[in-house]
Structure 1
Amino acid sequence: MAAPSRQVQVVSYPEGEVGPEHFEVVSVDVPDPGAGQVLVRNTWTSVDPGLRLRLRAEAPAGYFASFPLGSALDGVLTVGQVIASNAEGFEVGDTVWHPYGWREHAVVDAGVELMNGAGTMRVLDVADTPPQWYLGPLGAIGLTAYSGLAVADALGGGETLWVSAAAGAVGSLVAQMGVRLGHRVIASAGSAEKVAWLVDEVGVAGAFDYHREQPARALERLAPDGIDVYFDNVGGDHLEAALDALRMHGRVALCGSISDYEGEPTGPRNIFLATAKHLTLSGFRGSLHMELLDEMQSRLGGWLREGSVTHRETVYAGLDQAPVALQDMLSGRTSGKTLVRL
């Protein structure tokens, strides 16, 4: 028998800054699970910068499609508890992840590959692990951080690595892993508090607030001999500064371009330096590197449990706060992984 539940729907595509007015929370009837399906009561749902790219009439080619107006969001990772199951391998009470977040309940098909495997429903081991970690360091966020270092050939350590948005969900993990791997890490973030955390607690070699100091000048000060690797979460003037600072044969992991998400894109004016310096610029998505998931969970999970890597969270309470959480995250008002607890 169908039961009422709530979900967030997109009602309009924002031009400029996203806000709660672009969403509404609606009540819907959730059906009983059919054969091969599981009913999940969602407990934690993710809030990620990439959602902004789907809040457009046309999402970037090759990325996930735009969110349709007047429908529940898909491709938003979430964690929940199975409350009814007609699928082998999933029992009532199991904690699972799946890609139907920003809603209180979801009916999920078992065994169906979703989001290149990153969203395929699976049972999670929460015996000694907080369940929300699977939306952060032990899930897609951790995989993105780890695979970005992998594609930039930076898992070996011993180089100078610049990480932008280094207090965010992905960047904070990259910065900490970089220090743990033995890199000389330069970090940038959007507030004095975030910079202090990066220097005092993470132990980066240097950090700067990009609101107070231009990236190009900061790199001249903090890495006068240049950098070997740049982990790019920002794009725009950050990528331009990195191209100037990179040494011959330097590498860039192109993870995101958050500076362009709510404004007019501004590409680097010095892109020819990629040719002149024999640079390697590697675009990547964590969901296309599922072969690294077990390795990442083992390695990063060990660091988390021994305390050499920490996980920061900004948590909002209640489904109604999901749009506010997205707005705050895109405006730089959150630290670490942004989550909504349902």
Structure 2
Amino acid sequence: MTHKYLKQAVSFFAYSYSTFLLCYLILRLIFWDRLWIVAFIGTFTPLIFLPILLLPFLSFSIIKNRWFSIISSIACILLLSWLHIKYFSPEPINITGSQPSLKILSHNVGWYITKSPTLVKLINQEQADIVFLQETVQKHRKRVFDLLKSDYPYQIDTPPVGILSKYPVLSSEILHLANHRETQQRAIIKFAGQEIVIYNMQATGPWVKIHKTLRFIKIPVYKYAHRFPEIQDLVERIQKETLPVIVAGDFNLTDETQDYYRVQQVLQDAFLKSGFGFGFTWPHGFFAQRFNLRLTYPLCRIDYIWYSQHWGAKSSAVLGATESDHLPVEAELILLQ
């Protein structure tokens, strides 16, 4: 009797999950991010696909359905191949010459969450050439920027974003992409005898809003429309740039969104090229007050370092946690001659 109920429960899970994935993939193929539920589910890629790895075992040992066993085994092989190619087969640039390189560090410090000594320690430890900071506040001016003045003499401190550089800053400007409230920075830096352009990015984050459909019915809806015009504005600006470009920061999007693919048309993702693994950066240590739940492991990658065709990525990594709910990201880029 117990075995019968176990088989029913496992069968219900396996078939329901398979139906869910099939519907998601079909809707994604048709609508992609134009349908909010598809966009929301896609946020948790590749995690939503990992249960596929269990299906062959469940099918062979408990469900014992021949066709489902064959199909789930094929799906498992396809998933493993996709994961290996996309996340576990980096192709860092391999140059043994004397081409100049830049070490880039980017971190969303989470407003007042990250303690100044922690941030100073991180920057001193990594010794990046250019540091991109997001969600900074006034306290960072005296407790971080001033303390690092000797190592980073060229600073652009315009909260809520800031840049620390070991190389001369020739010019800088504050941006509000798509005329939205979020603040970004663009600067021109003198490096290796030539000028390069850097962007410090902070995109509007998506959120879940309770939407009233009928008089007595309310459902949560995933809102992310504000991000698209900001990304579109950034892409158009990058297309007009003639100098080598580096863009780093909190993009508030995952690598399965349409906005990611829009950026990928003009820039290359340093972690995708030279990093290893999923590279999740958020939400580490995020506290969901409503559910009294603290997330201790990040679930998605929303912090990036991008570069134009003038560069190659030698290495990229997600660093250890600070007090922020974002993990810092780092990359070493080679300027191609």
What's the TM-score once normalised by structure 2's chain length? 0.35
What's the TM-score once normalised by structure 1's chain length? 0.35
More helix by share: 2
